[in-house]
Structure 1
Amino acid sequence: MTTEATEPTADASRTSGSASKLIKVVVLAALVSVIGVAYFNYGDDLSLAGLAEKEAALQSWQQDNPVLAYGAAWLVYVVVTGLSLPGAVPLTLVFGWFFGFWKALLIVSFGSTAGATVAFLLSRYLLQETVQSKFSERLESVNKAFRREGAYYLFSLRLIPAVPFFVINVVMGLTPISVTTFWWVSQCGMLPGTCVFVYAGTQVPDLQTLADQGWQSILSWPLVAAFVLLGLFPIVVKKLMAKFGRTPEALQNKEEPGRDT
């Protein structure tokens, strides 16, 4: 009787698991398809050269529809950063030029955090098996560090760009950290870098010049000083963390002594 009762339960569990995997695959495939079609159709329009061609039209539209412009800019930034699409840095520069420092800072800061949270949630609910298989060794180290340090661990990773933005998002999605904690810690940790890049955007004379001449068109002593400070800031933070034995090494791609390469 026990065996007969257990077998249907096991079959139901396997069926439920298979259905759950199928739903995840379908949702992920639909998401990738939508992203692919959108990027294929509108990717060039969001490039620096594409935006430069529409410079006058964009400024006129923003003056006529300020609230809509802010919302659209935020949504575009969320999509680009949340799906790890190329173009986040050029968009930051464009927003700094287009909206001015403080307005652009709000859009980019909250947009990048929202995008990071989107990637975090996709990892937690849709990409869990893929991420675990790819980052299994690092994930174990991350979980140990997270249990030991808590939210401070994520904050230190945000301050010290030891690993790519998207890797932090997807790997942290498999830790016990709550969405709320992930949001506010990321918001604070990414703010220094956001300030510098938005400020760089405010130095852009016009988009066509930036597209044609690149960084040379916006270089100035205040901007150089800001980037120097941004470069020194992680070094200072890392030294302070190392002094207290709290440097986040779990996600860094370092070889262990005696380990085969």
Structure 2
Amino acid sequence: MTRVPVSRKSSLWRLWPLALIGAGVGLFFLLGGADLLTLGKLQQEHAKLESFVAMHYLQAVLAYMLLYTLVVALSLPGGAVLTLAGGFLFGALAATCYIVVAATCGAVIIFLAARSALDEPLRTRAGPWLAKLAAGFQRDVWSYMLILRLVPLFPFFVVNLVPAFLGVSLRCFAVTTFIGIIPATFIYAALGAGLGDALRSGGDLSVALSPGVLAALLGLAALAALPILYNRLRRRSDLPNE
């Protein structure tokens, strides 16, 4: 009988968080979860959802936050739809509070899973290149992390994973995630609140165009422009001084 070396057993054991996440993703798609987290489904079920929230507010909040945490932790599609749903079910401000807490918890879960399972093997294979990159990142880690959260340069799940390989501390990751996602979350939740007004009026989108929603749309446009502005400023700072 062939014995598996202890070091190999240890490496395989470290992969269990990613295996659990992979199983969760597979189960999500197998059960048709991708069809549930859509705007169409939200439009169909909005009356039932609002009725449930009105009768069981605390349970609805806890279920919503748990679902949001799982979606982020498993890097599933549908986060934007869930944010819009939170806006029209709970209001922009309350939804922002619930979402920021849940999204931070989910991000921390995937961060810890990646750091536990892949950090050592990745560093071994990457060698000095990754160490050099991590050292440069660590010099201004708080600023870099806030920029990555505030400016949508990369997908949310990518920013959850990469810091795990660059030696970012859990404290820095959690705090910058919590603070950095507030603006975008509030903008989408405000749009969701406007969407709720439109759904209650029978689909009249003009009802949704309140001053608050218009401000959210302007904020969304500004958010989309941030990567362009950031890249221009970075290129300008890289130019030699005359």
Task: Return the TM-score normalized by structure 2.
Answer: 0.78
Does 2:146 match 1:155?
Answer: yes
Q: For the residues of structure 2 that align with 1:187 and 1:178, how far apart are their CA atoms?
A: 14
Q: Which stretch shifts more, 133-142 or 32-41? A: 133-142
Q: Give per-residue Cα distances to partners, 1:158-211, cap 9 Å, x unaligned.
A: 12222221111111011222212211111111111111111111101468689x
CA distance 1:245–1:141, change in 2 (3 Å): farther
Counterpart residue number, 2:31 = 41
Question: Where does structure 2 lack aligned partners over 5 or more consecutive residues?
Answer: none
User: CA shift at 1:51, angstroms?
Assistant: 3.5
Q: 222, 230, 234: which one pairs with 1:238?
A: 230
CA distance 1:84–1:133, change in 2 (3 Å): farther
Contact preservation (8 Å) 1:151, 1:177: no
Counterpart residue number, 1:254 = none
Q: For the residues of structure 1 that align with 2:209 and 2:57, how far apart are their CA atoms?
A: 29
CA distance 1:119–1:237, change in 2 (3 Å): farther
Question: Where does structure 1 lack aligned partners over 5 or more consecutive residues?
Answer: 1-13, 247-261
Contact preservation (8 Å) 1:49, 1:208: no
Q: For the residues of structure 1 that align with 2:29 and 2:143, how far apart are their CA atoms?
A: 36
Does 2:146 match 1:176?
Answer: no
Q: Secondary structure at the match of 1:125?
A: helix
Q: Secondary structure at the match of 2:195?
A: coil
Identity among equivalent positions (%) equals 28
Alignment: residue pair count? 232
Counterpart residue number, 2:12 = 22
Does 2:76 match 1:85?
Answer: yes
Task: Return the TM-score normalized by structure 1.
Answer: 0.73
Give matches, 1:1-261, under 5 Å.
Answer: 15-43=5-33, 44-128=35-119, 139=130, 142-205=133-196, 218=208, 222-232=212-222, 234=226, 238=230, 242=234
Q: Give per-residue Cα distances to partners, 1:68-124, cap 9 Å, x unaligned.
A: 111110111111122211101111111100111121011111122222212211210
Bigger Rg, structure 1 or 2: 1
User: CA shift at 1:42, angstroms?
Assistant: 5.0
Q: For the residues of structure 1 that align with 2:200 and 2:237, how far apart are their CA atoms?
A: 47
The structure that is helix-richer by fraction is 2
